[in-house]
Amino acid sequence: MAITDFFDRGWRSAPEAVAFVAEDRTFTYREIGELSCRIANALANSGVSRETKGAVLAANDPLAWACVLGMWRAGLAWVPVNPANPAEEIRRLLAGFDCEVLFCHEQFVPLVEKLRPDLAGLRTVVCIGESTGAADVTMLDAFIADARAELPGHTPAPDAVAGIMPTGGTTGAPKGVMNTHRGLGVSVVHQMLAAPYPADEPVVNLVAAPMTHTAGLLTLPCAARGGTVVVMSRPDPLKLLDLIERHRVTELFLPPTVIYRLLEIPGIEQRDFSSLKYLMYGSAPMSTEKLRRAIEVFGPVLFQGYGQTEAPSGIAFLRPEEHFTDGRIADDARLSAAGRPAPLVRVEILDGDGRILPAGEPGEICVRGDLVMKGYYKDPVRTAETIVDGWLHTGDIGHLDHEGFLHITDRKKDMIISGGFNVYPSEVEQIIWRHPAVQDCAVVGAPHPDWGEAVTAVVELNEGEELTEADLIAYCRPRLGGIKTPKRVEFVTQLPRSPNGKVLKKDVRAPFWRDHQRRI
C-alpha cells in the first residue's frame, strides 16, 4: 500500500468532515484530498519523474502537508526540511539529496532565491501563499490550474522510496535515510495498534512539534480514523494548553524538553486535560522524575515511542498502562524502559559477533522487519555497515528484561570510558534530572590526562534557581559513586538543541575536545 492510503481512508469515510484546523481556518477531507490530487497531477503534467526528490519549506500548515501528500501521490520522494534550520543546512540538504522540486511558504522565497545559485538541480519552485513577484517561482494556484482533482493513475509500489529523511545529526552530520511506502506504512500501523480507539470515539490530534518529523507522520493514523488534526504553526506553550481544552484534544506528541517546560507553567494543575487519551513522548530520553510529575499533571496518558529515522516511530512502545504497576506509578526500572517491541518488527540484543544475547545482558539493539529503511542515500558503504545480515544496527546499547521490556542504556558513541570503566551518560543524567533546580542536562566525556575521559555535566537550570558545581557533585556522589559522579559541571543558559528539540551531544562535547584528537 502507499502511505497516502491512510489519509484516503478518512477521506472516503467522511469527505465533508473537518480534517485540519489551523488558527481560524478549517479544511475538510475533500478539500485537502482534492488539492493533493491536483498537486500530484500537476507534477506529472510538468514532466517530473517518479522518485524525483521534492521538499516543502514551510511552517506547520495543512496546505504545506497537502503538498507532501501530493508529492507522495505522484511517486516523489519527500525530503523533510525544517524551516528552523540554518540557511546553510537547508542548502546542504536540498543539494545533497538532489531536490528538483520545492514547495515553500511565501516568507521563505527570498531565502530560496539566495540559495538557488548553489542548487543547480532545483528546477521547480512553487510558492504557497501570496505572490512575491520572484522570478522562476510559480504560485500554487497557477501550478495546479489545469490539473484534475481525481486520484492520479499511478500508485507507488510498496518498496518505492517515499522519503529521504535526514538523520537527527545529534552525533554527526545528517545522513539521508531512504524510507519506503511500506516502511512508513508499518510505522503508522504500529501507532494505530499501540493507541487504539473505540469506533465511536472522536480522535483529535494536536500538532505542536514540526510536521517535518514525527508529528507529521502522526497525522496519518488520525486521518485513517476520520479524526481532526489541529495544527500549531509555531511553538507557544500557553496556546498549546488552550488548544487542548478548546478542541478537546485526545492525542499529541511532544519531545521531553517541551514537556519539562509545560510542567513549569504556573497553575498547570488547574488546566483541563480530561479529553487526553495519549500524550506521546519520544525522540530523546526522559527524566523519570519529570515523567512521574507529568503523569500526575496530565493523567494516566503518557505513551512513549522508541524509534529512529532508520526505523521510524515504531520499534517499541511503553503504553499508558505500562507506566503503572499494581495501580501505582511504576518504579524507575519500568519508567526508564522504552517499552515492548512493536508487533511487526523483531528486536534482539546482539553482541559484537552478531550473536543474540539472553535477557538481561547488554549489547547493541538490532531490528529487522519491513519498518527498516531501504538504506542511506548514495552511501552503500555506510548502508552495509548499518544493515548486516538483515539486522539494522541501531547504535543504541541496551537489554531486554525478563518481562520483554526494552531498556536503552545509551548511544554507543556517547559512552564514556573513564579510567578503564564504562560510564553510560543516561544513568548520570537521570540522577541530575532529579535535582529540583535542574531543568535539563547533558553528560559527556571530556579529555583527562590520567583517566582518558572525565565525566562532565553541562546543566540548564530552572528559571530563578541557583546551584554550584560543588553542590551538584555532592548531590550526585552518594547516588552514583566516585566513578560515575561528574568531575566537572558547567552551567549554561540553554543547551544546544536541534530544531526538533533534541540535545545535540556533539555540540555539547565539541568545546571540550577542540584541541584534542577525537572524532566528535
Every domain of the chain and the residues it spans:
25-179, 235-412, 423-513
User: Which amino acid would we find at residue 100?
Assistant: E
Summary count for the chain: helices (H), strands (E): 17, 29
The whole-model pTM stands at 0.85
**Nearest 5°: CA angle at 362, between 480 and 508?**
55
Do the domains 235-412 and 423-513 sit in the same CATH topology, yes or no? Answer: no
- CATH code for 235-412? 3.40.50.12780
Topology (CATH) of 423-513:
GMP Synthetase; Chain A, domain 3 (3.30.300)
pLDDT in tens, the chain (520 residues): 899 999 999 999 999 999 999 998 999 999 999 999 999 999 999 999 988 999 999 999 999 999 999 999 999 999 999 888 888 889 989 999 999 999 999 999 999 999 999 999 999 999 998 877 777 899 999 999 999 999 998 899 999 999 999 885 544 456 899 999 999 999 999 999 999 998 888 999 999 988 988 889 999 999 999 999 999 988 899 999 999 999 999 999 998 888 988 999 999 999 999 999 999 998 777 889 999 999 999 999 999 999 999 999 889 999 999 999 999 999 999 999 999 999 999 999 999 899 999 999 999 999 999 999 999 999 999 999 999 999 999 999 999 999 999 998 877 778 787 866 778 888 899 999 999 999 999 999 998 877 778 999 999 999 899 999 999 999 999 989 888 999 999 999 999 988 777 888 889 988 998 876 544 4
Beta bridge partners of 408: 398
The Cα 482–Cα 33 span in angstroms is: 60
The residues, ordered by sequence, that sit 6+ positions from 113 with a Cβ below 8 Å of its Cβ are 134, 135, 137
Enter the C-alpha cell of residue 168: 537527527
CB neighbourhood size of 33 (10 A): 25
| Cα–Cα distance for residue pair 216/213, rounded to 1 Å | 6
Residues sharing a CB contact under 8 Å with residue 494, sequence separation 6 or more, in sequence order: 460
Residue where the block lists cell 531512504: 178
For the beta carbon of residue 117, count every other beta carbon within 10 angstroms: 7
Identify the pLDDT of residue 437. Answer: 94
The C-alpha atoms of residue 279 and residue 298 are separated, in whole angstroms, by: 8
CATH code: domain 25-179 is 3.40.50.980
Parallel, antiparallel or unpaired: strands 375-376 and 438-448: unpaired
Helix 288-298 vs helix 256-263: crossing angle, to nearest 10: 60
pLDDT for the residue numbered 420: 67
Q: What is the DSSP string of 502-516?
A: -B-HHHHHHHHHTTS
**Tens of pLDDT along 139-155?**
999 999 999 999 998 89
Grid coordinates standing for 266? 504556573
